[in-house]
Structure 1
Amino acid sequence: MKQILQLFALVFTLQIFSCSPKGQEQERQPNIIVILADDLGYGDIHAFNPDSKIPTPNIDALASGGMKFTDAHTPSAVCTPTRYGFLTGRYNWRSRLKSGVLTGKSKALIPDDRTTIADVLKGQGYNTAFIGKWHLGWDWGLKGDEENAGEGWNPQDFDAIDFAKTVTHTPNDLGFDYAYGHSGSLDMAPYVYVENGQVTAIPDTITVNTGKYSWWREGPTSPDFDHEKVTPNFFERSIQYIEEKSQDDKPFFLYLALPSPHTPILPPSEWQGKSGLMPFGDFMMMIDDYVGQVNAAIKNAGIEENTLVIFTSDNGGSPAAGLEEMAALGHLSNYTFRGNKADLYEGGHRVPFIAKWPAKINPGSTRSQTICLTDIMATSAEITGYALKENEGEDSYSLMGLFDADKEVDQFREATVHHSINGSFAIRQGEWKLLMAKGSGGWSFPKPGDPAEAELPEVQLYNLASDPGETTNLQAENPEKVAALKSLLSKYIKEGRSTSGAPQQNDKVEGEWKQIGFVE
């Protein structure tokens, strides 16, 4: 009888443990952290480039603890449009921004009724936070009813702003419970922090820096805004957020949008000279160290097992970092790929992409399928059981099937569209890539308008399996492939989506099709 009672007691105890908070933790939705670097090239991370001259042990540890994607791409080769695509799951050229980037003073690009990742996750019970570089426009308060004249490249363009007034159409209106950051790139004025729609300190000076790699444009600057301390500030606030929200009953989503290693390249004194490469290398070592601190905060909070961490970049490495000088020292920021930031060539938009989620992703795994940053939207939706509507995430495919390293996946996306700073298109399907431009469409040779470009064919076709460096244009030998890819690109543009579903409308602007280089 005593043995029977002991058996009942054991069963009862096991039932209690199965219902304990730790047991519940296994059932709750994962925390999601996306760290988006700025102008970080594929070759800047040692895990992706064994010949890299920059030590990145903490980012490498993320990769060894999770999954590397070796064929990951940004939806654009520059920052604003990539950030739009990441947050909405929709290609940027479907918005009103058909080329280029916004300034620090531009009006909001994403309308409040456009669903974002933050909207999806907040609706599914998440705490949501944005910390960092926004660069998607918001509406500054004005001193009067006058139009906010000027795009924000000159100090006088900011005279109409009343920094004491509430800023509207901010990340808080797009699903983020908490939002703290600055409006544009770290070289774009105004240099102020905005926290939940309020400027944290009124600008009291005009600053400018003209260093070769540390430059920023002249503009109003708040007393609490120190360019050198901006990246550390964002990391430290993010770590604090992780520590606080890990104690909550609700899961959290943190979008940490770094303004670095984009210019101004400002490694603090304790990091200067550490890489032996250039200021960019020192800056990258500092960033890597902070990523290690984020990793430690996650582990120390006891949430590592059920936290998805994604680390990636918004486009390829920039010439402003000194790409040629670093190459002479043996460091290839964009690895062996042709081109750089702003280009249709691979160097413009192929980026490192790491996903670590111990509960779901095998450590040390790798995927070679082509993916795009727009895919994080559908991934977040599937993770939380949210069904995207027809007008949500029109260019987003869920990565969940790829996270299972034991699952064979022949082809993931039907095709992927690339976009350059001047609004030129490329489309990639399997091993084939068609560029709807004579040259780079960006900043590398041959640039748009370069005399050498005039002598080139109208389009470029490359086989990336045999020619990953995009050295041999095969368009003349493969007219059928050119026609098929051009037709698919036209279909994606006209139907307002590249995923299955009902056709949607692109946001119209006057002369749209000509501006974005589309020909019927």
Structure 2
Amino acid sequence: MSSHASNLSRRAFGGVVGASATAAALGAAAAPADAAPGTVERPFRAAPGRTAKRPNILFILGDDLGWADLSSYGAPHIKTPNLDRLARQGVRFTDAYSGSATCSPTRFSLYTGRYPGRTAGGLAEPIADRSVGLDPNHPTLASLLRGAGYATALIGKWHCGYLPDYSPTKSGWEEFFGNFGGALEYYSKLGLGGEYDLYEGDVREGDAEYKDLRYYTRILTERASEYVRRDHGGHPWLLNLNFTTPHWPWIADGDEKQSAEIVRRIKSGDPRALFHTDGGSVEKYTEMVQDLDRSVGQVLKALTESGREHDTLVFFASDNGGERFSYNWPLSGNKTSLQEGGIRVPTIVRWPARIDGGQVSHEPVFSPDWTATLLEIGGARPAPAYPLDGTSLAGYLLRGEAPPAERELFWRVRGERALRRGDWKYYRGQGGADQLFDLAADRREQADRAADRPKLLAELRSAWERTDGELLPYPER
């Protein structure tokens, strides 16, 4: 952590402080996203000396959920009591990032622990056809944990390639129930190509007599609850629970009439029907986020009833920044952009056996770090031929060790580049101009410091270009 970040952390969280003290330290505009109203939060401090068996891992992803879309992150109009409770019981990260600005490459970075640009499939932003996917020969979080004795399952959105060449069951997950594509209509399960996209393993349910046409989030919640309650024969388990909520189309539970209209458009050949650019609202989006919160609460209730809550590490995050109706204040940008609003995401970690609750961490972290962390906690070794780009946070989270030394978090999408070192962020957007921002003082990325810090700008640009030189080039369009 940089000295600037360390000073900010001491100033804002030098002891046990409440929301009002946080507001005074960080400024009125920043306060809502850094403190849940009415709560007392402590700076992060590990609880060394505790021992526990290898945990079950419940890894939950929301889809296109903005950084401040939870009430514990500052949303004034969205109520998320279950996720707020999860944050109070564990650690809430304020400076956590996705591996990319869209869902496919972020999922690649999470599953492989590497930059998306190290693999051909990760260059698709996002995957839109059957030409690329996650190579079944590439080690994954699931395959490595499975090799270390974990049971593994993925429930929900895959979006890392299509059959016949790519699927979760080819990449380390023993069980899969969900959709392959990037979006689907919540009732009919029709995907972007008009296909029925709900699978049990590698078999499409639509090929049989039975189809589950209930609201998709209800189905995923039910399946995940069954999995966490199940007897796994004494084996620890990894469950990747990938909701599609609150991704478009903007359909909440009970919106059968809106569903029928979108299905009609899909079947009439409208390729843009699922994008739902003529629908949605802040109110509808709020309804969908609150439904996601209830669904997570139901899965956590099932976990509690199973008697395994104490020994289960629960992780919650979004796959990238928010979309049209997200509440991202004070961040700039949305999904697809490498501005903060496109890549900074709400992130919560809870493990009762090893981590105290009510804590907040300001450490900059991103998706590949969680791969490295979970592999270490689960007793699995990375494959030497596929070195990780993330840094394990296990020592920081569990043993009271110092946070990772100041390092560089790297992002690349077509037409944009970004790199964070400490509090400083180098950014080049679609306009082509290099910019430099001090995120501790300017999370909104409005005060470009490039002119008064030319040496630092040059250093960060060179660092970005060194990493970029190691990655695969984007294919010509």
Question: Which residue identity lines up with residue 269 of structure 1 in the other structure?
Answer: G
Q: What is the CA-CA distance between 1:394 and the residue it aligns to?
A: 2.3
**Alpha-carbon contact 1:361-1:405 (below 8 Å) kept:** no
1:269 aligns with 2:262: no
Match of 2:167 in 1: 170
For 1:66 and 1:405, how far apart are their aligned partners in 2? 15
The percentage of counterpart residues that share the same residue type is 31
Q: Give the alignment partner of residue 369 of structure 2, picking from 366, 371, 375.
A: 375
C-alpha distance after superposition, 1:101-159 (max 9, x if no partner):
112x42441111111000111001000001101111123xxxxxxxxxxxxxxxxxxxx
Q: What is the CA-CA distance between 1:402 and the residue it aligns to?
A: 2.7
Question: Which residue identity lines up with residue 101 of structure 1 in the other structure?
Answer: P
C-alpha distance after superposition, 1:204-258 (max 9, x if no partner):
xxxxxxxxxxxxxxxxxx97253x611111111011011114x521011000111
Match of 1:213 in 2: none
1:426 aligns with 2:450: no
C-alpha distance after superposition, 1:174-207 (max 9, x if no partner):
100001111112242323212221112239xxxx
Match of 2:221 in 1: 235
**Alpha-carbon contact 2:155-2:176 (below 8 Å) kept:** yes
Match of 1:122 in 2: 146
1:224 aligns with 2:208: no
Q: Give the alignment partner of residue 230 of structure 2, picking from 235, 244, 269.
A: 244
For 1:85 and 1:377, how far apart are their aligned partners in 2? 8
For 1:128 and 1:413, how far apart are their aligned partners in 2? 33
Which ranges of structure 1 fall in alignment gaps of 5 or more residues?
A: 1-25, 140-166, 204-221, 324-332, 438-447, 497-505, 516-520
Paired residue secondary structure (1:241): helix
Paired residue secondary structure (1:310): strand
Match of 1:44 in 2: 69
Q: TM-score, normalised by structure 1?
A: 0.72
Q: What is the CA-CA distance between 1:436 and the residue it aligns to?
A: 2.6
**Alpha-carbon contact 2:115-2:368 (below 8 Å) kept:** yes
Q: Give the alignment partner of residue 462 of structure 1, picking from 437, 462, 467.
A: 437
Match of 2:125 in 1: 100
C-alpha distance after superposition, 1:378-412 (max 9, x if no partner):
11221123332333352111121231485443x45
- Give the direction of change, closer, same or farther, for the CA distance of 1:169–1:271 in structure 2 (3 Å limit): closer
- Give the direction of change, closer, same or farther, for the CA distance of 1:303–1:52 in structure 2 (3 Å limit): same
**Alpha-carbon contact 1:261-1:280 (below 8 Å) kept:** yes
**Alpha-carbon contact 1:309-1:357 (below 8 Å) kept:** yes
Structure whose CA Rg is larger = 1
Moved more, 38-47 or 263-272: 263-272
For 1:412 and 1:62, how far apart are their aligned partners in 2? 28
Paired residue secondary structure (1:374): helix
Question: How many residues are paired up?
Answer: 395
For 2:401 and 2:390, how far apart are their aligned partners in 1? 20
Question: Which residue identity lines up with residue 224 of structure 1 in the other structure?
Answer: K
1:67 aligns with 2:91: yes
Q: Give the alignment partner of residue 436 of structure 1, picking from 416, 423, 428.
A: 428
Paired residue secondary structure (2:315): strand
C-alpha distance after superposition, 1:309-335 (max 9, x if no partner):
00000111101xx35xxxxxxxxx112
Match of 2:352 in 1: 358
For 1:315 and 1:357, how far apart are their aligned partners in 2? 23
1:89 aligns with 2:113: yes
1:138 aligns with 2:162: yes
1:415 aligns with 2:405: no
Question: Which residue identity lines up with residue 179 of structure 1 in the other structure?
Answer: F
Moved more, 484-493 or 85-94: 484-493
For 2:398 and 2:448, how far apart are their aligned partners in 1? 36
For 1:231 and 1:345, how far apart are their aligned partners in 2? 29
- Give the direction of change, closer, same or farther, for the CA distance of 1:98–1:235 in structure 2 (3 Å limit): same
Q: What is the CA-CA distance between 1:80 and the residue it aligns to?
A: 0.7
Which ranges of structure 2 fall in alignment gaps of 5 or more residues?
A: 1-50, 185-191, 258-280
Match of 2:15 in 1: none
- Give the direction of change, closer, same or farther, for the CA distance of 1:116–1:100 in structure 2 (3 Å limit): same
Question: Which residue identity lines up with residue 232 of structure 1 in the other structure?
Answer: R
Paired residue secondary structure (1:361): coil
Match of 1:210 in 2: none
Paired residue secondary structure (1:282): helix
C-alpha distance after superposition, 1:249-271 (max 9, x if no partner):
10110001111100012211399
For 2:161 and 2:288, how far apart are their aligned partners in 1? 26
For 2:387 and 2:220, how far apart are their aligned partners in 1? 28
For 2:462 and 2:398, how far apart are their aligned partners in 1? 33
Q: Give the alignment partner of residue 32 of structure 1, picking from 48, 57, 70.
A: 57
For 1:412 and 1:59, how far apart are their aligned partners in 2? 30
The within-5 A match list for 1:176-215 is 176-187=173-184, 188-189=192-193, 190-202=195-207
C-alpha distance after superposition, 1:405-455 (max 9, x if no partner):
85443x4561101234x3521000011111133xxxxxxxxxx4xxxx4xx
C-alpha distance after superposition, 1:57-92 (max 9, x if no partner):
000111001111110001111111111111001111
For 1:98 and 1:277, how far apart are their aligned partners in 2? 32
Q: Give the alignment partner of residue 334 of structure 1, picking from 315, 328, 339.
A: 328
- Give the direction of change, closer, same or farther, for the CA distance of 1:480–1:131 in structure 2 (3 Å limit): same
1:491 aligns with 2:466: yes
For 1:380 and 1:176, how far apart are their aligned partners in 2? 15
- Give the direction of change, closer, same or farther, for the CA distance of 1:379–1:102 in structure 2 (3 Å limit): same
- Give the direction of change, closer, same or farther, for the CA distance of 1:35–1:458 in structure 2 (3 Å limit): same
Match of 1:474 in 2: 449
Paired residue secondary structure (2:58): strand
